[in-house]
Amino acid sequence: MTEPENSLIDAWLEGSLNDEQERELDQWLRLDDAHMRQFVEANIRDQHLKEVVRSLGQAEEVTRQIAPPISSKRMQRVPLAMFALATAATILLAIWFVLPRQPVRVQASVIAMTDVQLIGVDGVPAIGKTLSLDSFRLASGSLEVLLPLNVRVEFVAPVEVVFENQNRLRLIEGQMNADVGDGGQGFTVVTSAGEIVDFGTRFGLEVDRDGESRVAVFSGSVEFHPTNATSPQEVITLTEGEALRFSARAGLRRWQQVAVAADKAGLSRIDNHGVVREVRDNLGEGDLRPFYSVIPGGMQSGALAFNDKPNPVWSALPGDKFPAWLEGADLIRTYYNFRYIKNYELTLELNQPADVYVLVATPGEVPNWLKERFEPVGVSIRAGAWHPAIATHPAATMQPDGPYLTFSIWKCEAGPGELKLGAPLEHRVPGVHSLMYGLAVKAKSTL
């Protein structure tokens, strides 16, 4: 294409053609079918560029239309062939958005890998090596890569992925965890039911081939854009500690449990084959989207106590050691903000016999359900540091970095099967902060 025709197509895309330019472009389009193809391809490239810019977060919302609006008066002067061609271009663009896009090669550096079997990738993967990824399948193992815009992604087999650009991928099936740095804001994962747009955070995602997907946010926030959304109000924002199940058929539902690896906040199958199979509550679906983190072997000094509190961690009392029999238990991070719900019920489903430990602030109210089923072990640990407002609680002791609360440990033997726990308090004590209990489970020895 010559430079004049380039300028005419640019003016068409911008909606700035005058009458003389319209006639000139129309004559050029009539000369050759190839000119028509070039015109349509230019429309597609233009829209693709807008989408890339939007997904990279490098510009505000793109407001320019695919084809410029034409007033009824001006429409009468537009040649029929020209208008038909514009309509064809619009149809092609619509098809381009609905159908999966062509794979785009992305350079990814291998950070970590375990028992990897990759299909559709040239070369043998190795730590430190750069792979050229477009459309591939991870048949076995796990693969962690660093993408060009400072996005770390871990894929856990079986996974099928198509990269649509360096900051956008389509997850057809499988499990992935993403850690998005500043450069990768706007990182987007496309599923059959919608898109997850990241804003500098850590999240996990599972996609089943039957169309259901599950996303959990470990820090920061993401937006979920349903495929069939008709207004901006249908976009859902998930923040730290929230999770969502979604599918084109069933819509949106809570996802109550995410099993999290002890050494990192990665995503594990909801159907957990460890000692804790499932954690659920009686709060229903509704607008609530929290999940319960189950961290195999995660109960230790320095472990985060609650899903919705960024600071309090478990530790030994001053002068004591962290209990060896409690260390290494599966940690279940509960929700501090559920402490006021009087009819709250939490159900554990255990795969095998286990010791279940409930940690209750002491001194403080001990609910009847706990006294009926559990026994105090005579050992306490603490959680902190807390906000200074907690300092007035009877269980609080002040330390240089803030107040710490003492928690007594209660134990019962349970499983396999269900174990129901009740509300953290039955009667609120005036003037005293109510507290949620902590929870840990340790499998019984089979020896």
Q: Quote the CA–CA distance of 261 and 175 in Å, as a whole number.
A: 14
pLDDT at 200: 78
Instruction: Output the CA torsion sign for 18, 23, 27, 29.
Output: positive
User: Mean pLDDT lowest for which of 204-213, 282-291, 306-315?
Assistant: 282-291
Instruction: Check whether residue 32 and residue 114 sit in a common domain.
Output: no
- For residues 50 and 179, membership in a common domain is answered with no
User: Rounded to whole angstroms, how far apart are CA atoms 313 and 301?
Assistant: 8
Residue 45, pLDDT score: 52
pLDDT at 355: 97
pLDDT at 115: 86
**Residue 217 has what pLDDT?**
84
Domain that holds residue 178: 102-255
Q: Residue 269 above 70 pLDDT? A: no
Query: For residue 278, what pLDDT is reported?
Result: 85
Neighbours of 186 (CB within 10 A): 21
Left (φ > 0), alpha (ψ -120 to 50) or beta: where does 428 sit? beta
Q: What percent of the chain has pLDDT over 90?
A: 31
- Pull the structure tokens for residue 415: 């499983």
Same structural domain, 47 and 193: no
Same domain, 76 and 109: no
Distance CA 147, CA 178 (A): 10
Q: Is the pLDDT of residue 348 over 70?
A: yes
The length of the chain in residues reads: 447
8 pLDDT tier (thresholds 50, 70, 90) = confident
| Residue-level pLDDT at 13 | 64
Task: Collapse the DSSP code of 232 into the 3-class scheme (helix H, G, I; strand E, B; otherwise coil) and give the result.
Answer: helix
Strand partners, 253: 245
Residue 408 has pLDDT above 50, yes or no: yes
Residues 57 and 164 in one domain: no
Distance CA 314, CA 439 (A): 11
Query: Taking Cα atoms as reference points, which of 136, 134, 138 lies closest to residue 113?
Result: 138
Tokens, residue 303: 């472990």
pLDDT for the residue 228: 66
Q: Is the dihedral of CA 14, 16, 22, 24 positive or negative?
A: negative
Chosen domain end from 50, 74, 98:
98
Query: In terms of DSSP bridges, do strands 221-226 and 194-198 run parallel, antiparallel, or are they unpaired?
Result: antiparallel
Provide mean pLDDT across the span 90-102. Answer: 46
pLDDT digits (tens, 9 = 90+) for 45-76: 555 444 433 433 333 333 333 334 433 333 34
* Residue 383 pLDDT > 90: yes
142 shares a domain with 24:
no
| 124: pLDDT strictly greater than 60 | yes
d(CA 64, CA 15): 9
Which position has the higher pLDDT, 239 or 441? 441
Residue 316 lies in a domain: yes
Give the integer Cα–Cα distance in Å for 14 and 289.
43
When the pLDDT of each residue in the chain is averaged and rounded to a whole number, the result is 76
The Cα angle at residue 250 between residues 244 and 256, in degrees rounded to 5: 30
Asked if 163 and 282 sit in the same domain, the reply is no
- Identity of the residue numbered 210: D
Q: Are 384 and 405 in contact (CB under 8 A)?
A: yes
Whether 117 and 140 share a structural domain: yes
Q: Are 277 and 180 contained in the same domain?
A: no
Instruction: Look at 302-306, 363-367, 442-446 and tell me which has the smallest mean pLDDT.
Output: 442-446
> pTM of the entire structure?
0.55
What is the model's pLDDT at position 206? Answer: 86
Question: Bridge-partner residues for 278, per DSSP?
Answer: 349
Q: pLDDT band at residue 349, thresholds of 50, 70 and 90?
A: very high
Greatest CA separation for the chain: 91
C-alpha 1/C-alpha 38 separation (Å) is: 8
Establish if 8 belongs to a structural domain: yes
For the chain, the C-alpha Rg in angstroms (whole number) is 28
* Spatial distance between the Cα atoms of 59 and 244, rounded to a whole number of angstroms: 28
Same domain? 281 vs 424: yes
Residues 415 and 305 in one domain: yes
Residue 265 or residue 385, greater confidence: 385
**Which residue, 255, 278, 293, sits at the end of a domain?**
255
The Cα 117–Cα 86 span in angstroms is 46
Position 280 scores a pLDDT of 86
Total domains present in the chain: 3
Q: What percentage of the chain exceeds 70 in pLDDT?
A: 69
Predicted pLDDT of residue 103 = 79
Q: Is the pLDDT of residue 411 over 90?
A: yes
Last residue of a domain, one of 64, 98, 132: 98
CATH number at residue 114: 2.60.120.1440
Averaged pLDDT, 15-38 = 70
| pLDDT at residue 163 is higher than 60 | yes
Q: Which residues are within 8 A (CB) of 123 and not within 5 positions of it... i.e. 6 or more apart?
A: 129, 131
Tell me: do 337 and 424 sit in the same domain.
yes
pLDDT at 254 over 90: no
